[in-house]
Amino acid sequence: MAEIATEKAKGKVQVFDSEEALTVSLAKYTADLSDKISKQKAAFTVVLSGGSLIEWLRKLLEPPYIDSVEWSKWHIFWVDERVVPKDHEDSNYKLAYDGFLSKVSIPAGNVYAINDALSAEGAADDYETCLKHLVQTSTIDLSQATGFPKFDLMLLGMGPDGHVASLFPGHPLVQENKKWVTFIKDSPKPPPERITFTFPVINSSANIALVVAGAGEAHAVNVALGNSQNSDLLPVQMVSPEGELTWFLDKEAASEL
């Protein structure tokens, strides 16, 4: 693993020789954080992305982590979700359930899926209401600095266009600064209807892992971490948490750096 020196705002950047090595390190990072936070609080709040991220969490499903992680403390949220039934192939919940959640002992009541019976707008409002309730009951922390919820760990993927969550380049939603959760009906990546956390919520996180592998993402990684002078920021360039930002890149994703 090589660590790349960048400005502090860009976070800690780690480049792995292979996707396999990345998954080993991501599991250790996540398990160490789970350990630390589980000793301090009743809940470890974890926000998942969809896409390849779930596959990259696979080492957590193996010893030693499968037995040593205090899964009962985990509370699971989604940074974005497609407005489709939970058993639909496009559902981020289904992806996470099939590939991860069904294999660990996180209590079912700690898994906060969207209400798939609602419209995009209704599902976003409903999810925001759920988050507000969990802040009131102190399951989720509140950032004293921003007044937005402060999750312990956000595991973010990135698309080849530099999108994170369902916040796409050039879309007005990237500027949303009041809502916690919003909706999109014209996502450039199918399916078109989604809900998504907003940047103020993403950036209030205590820890963000930005996990990117594959040559298709190399250009956007270079824009984010290289010396690009573009004035229109890609969404990934707007990720700037209150806490720590750690990049997990494989060498293909880092190939243009």
Ligand X SMILES: O=C1O[C@H](COP(=O)(O)O)[C@@H](O)[C@H](O)[C@H]1O
Q: Which stretch binds ligand X (CB under 6 A): 47-55, 69-77, 231-239, 243-251?
A: 47-55
Taking CB under 6 A as the criterion, the residue among 149, 157, 235, 241 binding ligand X is 157
Q: Which stretch binds ligand X (CB under 6 A): 22-30, 50-58, 107-115, 231-239?
A: 50-58
Taking the least distance from each CB to ligand X, the nearer of 13 and 48 is 48
H or E, element range at 125: helix 120-136
Backbone angles phi, psi at 209, to 5 degrees: -105, 120
Q: How far is the CB of 214 from ligand X (least distance, A)?
A: 8
Q: Is 42 exposed, middle or buried (0-12, 13-18, 19+ CB in 10 A)?
A: exposed
Please compute, for residue 138, the number of CA atoms within 13 A of its CA located in the half-sphere on the CB side.
2
Residue 143 found at the interface with ligand X (CB under 6 A): no
The answer to whether the CB of 48 falls within 8 A of the CB of 153 is no
Taking CB under 6 A as the criterion, the residue among 11, 149, 159, 241 binding ligand X is 159
With CB atoms as reference, the residue minimizing the distance to ligand X is: 51
Q: Alpha-carbon distance 220 to 235, whole Å? A: 10
Residue 252 found at the interface with ligand X (CB under 6 A): no
126 contact partners, CB below 8 Å, separation of at least 6: 114, 115, 118
Residue 235 found at the interface with ligand X (CB under 6 A): no
Taking the least distance from each CB to ligand X, the nearer of 44 and 93 is 93
Assigned token pair, 3: 């660590």
Residue 50 found at the interface with ligand X (CB under 6 A): yes
Assigned token pair, 120: 């995009």
192 contact partners, CB below 8 Å, separation of at least 6: 184, 185, 186
Q: What angle do CA 139, 140, 145 make, to 5 degrees?
A: 145
Taking the least distance from each CB to ligand X, the nearer of 110 and 166 is 166
Q: How far is the CB of 53 from ligand X (least distance, A)?
A: 6
Q: How far is the CB of 195 from ligand X (least distance, A)?
A: 10
Q: Alpha-carbon distance 128 to 202, whole Å? A: 13
Taking the least distance from each CB to ligand X, the nearer of 38 and 76 is 76
Q: How far is the CB of 189 from ligand X (least distance, A)?
A: 5
Please compute, for residue 244, the number of CA atoms within 13 A of its CA located in the half-sphere on the CB side.
10
Residue 52 found at the interface with ligand X (CB under 6 A): yes
Taking CB under 6 A as the criterion, the residue among 121, 188, 189, 257 binding ligand X is 189
Q: Which stretch binds ligand X (CB under 6 A): 22-30, 43-51, 176-184, 249-257?
A: 43-51
Q: Which of positions 56-115 make contact with ligand X (CB under 6 A)?
A: 80, 92
Q: Which candidate, 117, 143, 114, 116, places its Cα nearest to that of 129?
A: 114
Interface ranges with ligand X (CB under 6 A): 49-52, 80, 92, 157, 159, 166, 189
